[in-house]
Structure 1
C-alpha cells in the first residue's frame, strides 16, 4: 500500500524538488518478480518517508500469469503499468522515463529487491546534493550460475570489491567501478538527455546496450556515488539455458557498450577469426599441451577472483564455468561485431 504519512517539511530547494521519487521498471514475463520488487520498494520508501510514482513498462510479455500480476499491481494508487510491443529493455526504459513526472528517478529491474534502509540513505544524500547513485548489487541466490556472475563482476571491478567503501566516480575513472541500470538513481532530465543522445551500433534496438554508454554520459555531467550501505538483492535467472542465453546476450551488448568506432568492427572480426584459427591449430598439433594450458587458465581465473575479493565458492564457480562462458560470450561478441559492421554498410 502507498505510504500516507506526511512528508517532512521542505526546508531546502533540494528537499522540495525531490520530495517524490519516480521509479521506472521494465518487465518481460516477470509478474511475480515485479510484485516482490514493488513490495520491497514500498517498505524502503515508507522508512524514507518518500512518496513514490512507479511506472512499470511491460515489454510485450505474453505469459497470462505475469500479465494478471501486472493488472493487480497496476491497481495500487502509486503504480502505473504501460504495455508496449516487445522492443527491448532500452526502449522500455525510455518509455518509462518519458512517462514519469518526478524530478528524480530510480531505474529498477523487476528481479531486484531494494534493501529496507537504502532509500533513507539515498534521500539524505540527495538533499546534500549527491543526486546520482548506483546500488551495490548482491545476488539473492547461491546457485553456481549466480556465484559465477558475482565472481566475474568482482574481477572486472576489483578496485571497488577488494576494498568495499563509499566512492564517487566520473568519466575519467568510469571503467574502474561497477555501475548499471539494475538499480540506479539520477535526475530524470539527466537520464532522458542521455537516452535521447544514445545511438546504438545495431539496427535491432532490442539488443542495444541499456547501461554502459548511457551511464557514461551521465557520469560526464555528475559523479556517480556507490556505497556498500546502499544495497539491493538481485534474483538472477538460473538454470543452464537461462545462463547460456545471458552469456550470449551480454557478449552482444558488450560490443554496443564498449565499441567506440563501428568502423573497427570488421578488423576486430578478422582478429577474432585469426585467434580462433590459431587455437584450432594448437589443439590439433599439441592437444595435451593446449588442454593443460586451458586448465591452468581456468585455475588462474579462480585465483584472480579470490584476489579481487571473491569468496572461495565464487572462485570455484568462475573456474568451472569460464570455458563455457568464454565460448558463449565470444559468440555474442561476434554477433555484435557483425551487426555493427552490417549497420555501417547501410
Structure 2
C-alpha cells in the first residue's frame, strides 16, 4: 500500500512513517516543517526505497494536486495539525487555518484525485483526531464512565474545537460525496521524539536541568496515556481494515492523574540518573490553564472487538522506555529547545 502521510515529520506522524516503512508500505511524507516538525524523526527510514518526502502545506491546493498526481497514493493518513492546547489559547487563528481550512483543502484534493481515478472502493482517507473533541469527564471512572464513539462532541479549547470541526468536515465529505473515510480519536500520546513542550518531555528535561517541574493546578487532571508506537500500530490497522465511514477510539487503557504521572517519571529518573535528592522535590504547582478539562478516558472496545487491536505497552513500561530514550538522545532534544515558545509558559489566556 502506498500511503500519503500528512504531518509525517511530527511526533505521531513520524512514528506512523517509521512503522509503515518497517511493515513494507510505501510512504510519501508530506509536511510543512513548522516549529514542531523535525526530519531527524524519520532519519532511520529516509534512505529506504519506498520513502519520499514532500515539503508542502496542506493549505496549498496546487501543491496538494501536484503531489496526488505525482505519487498516486492508495490512502491518505491525515495527521498534520496544530496540536498544543496552550498555543491554541494564545493564538487560535493558526489552529483554525491549519486544522479546519487545511483539512478542507486536503479533502477537496483527495476527492478530486479519487474521482479522477474512477472512485475506487479501495481508496481510504484516514483522519486522525483526538479524544479532546468529547469535552471533559467527571472524576470517577465507575460513575462518570469513558468516551465512546457515540459520545456527543463538547470541545472546550480552541484546539479541540478546531479538531472537532475537522472531524465534522470529514464525515460530511463521506455522507455528501461518498469519499471513503475512516476516523480515529486517540488519547494522550507519549514516547520517543515527543516535542519538548508537552508534559512528559517537559518533566524529564526540567528534572535533568535541575529546574522547577511545573504542574498545573494541583495535578488532579486525569489522562489516558497511549504509547506512540502502539498508536502507530493501531492507525495502520485502521487504515487497512477499518470499515468505511466508521470511527474508532484508540486509548492506552492507562488512566493516571498528572501528579502521579510526574511523580512516576521522577521515580524512574531517581533510579537512572541518581543525585543527592529526589527529582520529585523539584515539582512546583503553578496556576492552572484556562478551561483545563478534568478527565479524559477512552473506551477502546470497538477497535478491540472489530479489528483485534489492543495496546501492548503499559504506562510503567512506556515511561521507562521514554525516559531511556531522552537520556540517550540529548543531541535531538537540545536542538529543539531553541525553537520559538519552548521552555516558556504559554496558554495563560492573557
Q: Give the TM-score taking structure 1 as reference length.
A: 0.33
Structure-2-length-normalised TM-score: 0.33
Point out the structure with the larger helix share.
1
The higher radius of gyration belongs to 1
